[in-house]
Amino acid sequence: MCSSNRTLTMDSTVLLLLTMFAVLGKVVGDRRLTFVTVLYRHGDRSPVKAYPTDRYQESSWPQGFGQLSQEGMRQHFELGQVLRKRYQGFLNDTYDRHEISVRSTDYDRTLMSAEANLAGLYPPNGSQVFNPSLEWQPIPVHTVPQDEERLLSFPILGCPRYKILMIETERTEKYLNMTFLYKDLIATVREKTGLKNTTIETVWSVHDTLFCEARHNMTAPDWVTPEIMDDLRKLKDFGFEILFEVYKHQEKSRLQGGVLLGSIVNNISESALPDSNRRLKMMMLSAHDTTIVALQSSLSIFNGKQPPYASCHIFELYQEDNGSFTVAMFYRNDTTRAPYQLAIPSCDLFCPLEDFVRLTKPSIPEDWDKECMVESPTKDTEVVIGLAVCGCLLFLLIVLLLAVLCRQRDPSDGYSHIHNEIES
């Protein structure tokens, strides 16, 4: 009897689990992808600068400083192939300009990364082949001038309030402790590199230069030991925290990464509107490590490490079987494994859209110019025009008053003439 009950209990448990799996499978199976945002860092590049005593100056690099290498091109071509495989059946097999929009910062390395990525994502098919010996087709990549960039290049310049926050950040206990902890390293860097003003920020750029040279099989100077490179890496990672966290994290987010986050949330929300007839399926953004960090920091999910070359942050909008929408995020920072899923604090991996919008709202600025304390050129013009108008009115009033006074002092000729006629 006991054995029979145990068997019955086990059968019931198995049946319950099978039912749960069937229900879960149905939910996953009925979940439909509707919109994707892809943000990635450019591929491998030459350093953006060299320190004074560096034996490898700009002439040592085939295309100069800050340029995408052949390795960087390969990285993004492969990422494009990964995206093609991931979104097979969602994106059209052939390029359709209505389905994808590509935006890049105005740097050679990000523009070229986007082009290499698109070559992997959209190899020409059928009528799109214009040269049988060339497995490539031109696809537009849009950008704006660097001095007008306020979406993808961080930290965003021209924000007085952010400058104040950065000054205050350098007075925090955490910043001062790190400076003290690595004071000997900073002194060594100053002595060996010929840099006169060495701070955590300048040490960061030295690490970047040495890292790029090592990746391209260039000989490191004798003073650069594995221990020093490891310490430089730690300071470099801390440099990202300085920019976007450490002090008044949320306010920094509103002035920096929250700008991009707001744009992404708006695009996702528009795609979920009941009467949305948008044909756009993917927004692709080609940018920098600081762009990914600024965005992830505004979402409170930054892992404290520099995003590697061709790393990729993905937002996916799904429509569930009940008609509601959820947002899922994925991060690819390792070419040997699939992107892993991320969740913002206080929400599920598949976060209901309304919760995603609500939870991200505190990091998104309502009026960036106002929060940055930017002087409005329009207001200045209005003041100048107003003063000019007031000046003209005042001048006319003075002229009018003088005219009235003159008439009161000197009787008019007409009045005297009439008076004389009466007397005669």
Judge whether 235 lies within some domain. no
Q: Measuring CA to CA, which residue among 231, 258, 246, 235 is closest to residue 167?
A: 246
Residue-wise pLDDT for 336-348, tens only, equals 899 999 999 999 9
**C-alpha 3, offset from chain centre:** 63
For residues 276 and 397, state if they share a domain. no
For residues 254 and 132, state if they share a domain. yes
| Cα–Cα distance, 260 to 249 (Å, whole number) | 16
Judge whether 15 lies within some domain. no
Q: Answer yes or no: is pLDDT of 1 > 80.
A: no
Residue-wise pLDDT for 5-15, tens only, equals 444 444 444 34
Residue-wise pLDDT for 44-88, tens only, equals 999 999 999 999 999 999 999 999 999 999 999 999 999 999 999
Which pLDDT score, from 0 to 100, does residue 396 have? 74
318: containing domain: 32-161+207-214+240-370
| Cα–Cα distance, 114 to 142 (Å, whole number) | 10
Q: Whole-number mean pLDDT of the chain? A: 88
Which pLDDT score, from 0 to 100, does residue 223 have? 96
For residues 246 and 394, state if they share a domain. no
| Cα–Cα distance, 39 to 42 (Å, whole number) | 10
For residues 128 and 259, state if they share a domain. yes
For residues 327 and 400, state if they share a domain. no
pTM, entire model:
0.82
* Residues 6 or more apart whose Cβ sits within 8 Å of residue 269: 353, 357
Given 42, 207, 288, 313, the catalytic residue: 42
For residues 296 and 361, state if they share a domain. yes
Q: Answer yes or no: is pLDDT of 18 > 50.
A: no
Cβ–Cβ < 8 Å for 240, 303:
no
Which pLDDT score, from 0 to 100, does residue 170 have? 95
Is 207 tagged catalytic?
no
Judge whether 174 lies within some domain. no
For residues 395 and 346, state if they share a domain. no
Residue 154: phi, psi to the nearest 5?
A: -130, 150
Quick one: average pLDDT of 12-24?
40
Judge whether 61 lies within some domain. yes
Burial of 387 (0-12, 13-18, 19+ CB in 10 A): exposed
Judge whether 177 lies within some domain. no
Distances (CA, A) of 308 to 42, 145, 148, 226, 260: 9, 25, 26, 19, 20
Is 76 tagged catalytic?
no
Tokens of 205: 């750029």
CATH label of the domain that carries residue 83: 3.40.50.1240
Q: Answer yes or no: is pLDDT of 357 > 80.
A: yes
Does a cis peptide bond (omega within 30 degrees of 0) precede residue 345? no
For residues 154 and 277, state if they share a domain. yes
For residues 249 and 337, state if they share a domain. yes
For residues 272 and 395, state if they share a domain. no
| Cα–Cα distance, 140 to 18 (Å, whole number) | 49
For residues 117 and 143, state if they share a domain. yes
* Residues 6 or more apart whose Cβ sits within 8 Å of residue 69: 43, 44, 45, 46, 216
Judge whether 226 lies within some domain. no
Name the CA radius of gyration of the chain, rounded. Answer: 32
**Which tops the pLDDT comparison, 396 or 338?**
338
Judge whether 318 lies within some domain. yes
Q: Answer yes or no: is pLDDT of 215 > 60.
A: yes
Tokens of 4: 């029979």
Which pLDDT score, from 0 to 100, does residue 272 have? 94
Given 76, 207, 289, 313, the catalytic residue: 289
Judge whether 362 lies within some domain. yes
For residues 408 and 282, state if they share a domain. no
Name the domain count of the chain: 2
Which pLDDT score, from 0 to 100, does residue 407 have? 62
